[in-house]
Amino acid sequence: MATNSTASETILDVREIDGPPFDDIVAALEELPADGRLHLIAPFEPKPLYEVLETRGFEHKVERSETSEGASGDAASRETERRDVWHVVIEHA
């Protein structure tokens, strides 16, 4: 898991963590200043998180994009693998 923080935005990339990222996300939200923003990057759309955010007084915007990664294997199977990446920007409501 990668975390990067600027004065107003914290980036939390959960694509590489083992297990569910919920506790990491909640911990980042608890540290979020009133004027701050959390930019969550995930390999799936975190739909169960949306209700939790609303209950805790946050609003969010979601965007899906694709990344391209070289697939491993022999030369015949080295095609580009496309994966969805979800960007969720979370702020206090």
Can you tell me the distance from the alpha carbon of 57 to that of 29, in angstroms, rounded to the nearest whole number? 11
Residue 72 has pLDDT above 60, yes or no: no
Please say whether the beta carbons of 44 and 15 come within 8 A. Answer: no
Please say whether the beta carbons of 38 and 6 come within 8 A. Answer: no
What confidence score (pLDDT) does residue 6 get? 66
Domains for the chain: give ranges and CATH numbers.
2-92 (3.40.50.150)
Residue 33 has pLDDT above 70, yes or no: yes
Give the pTM: 0.78
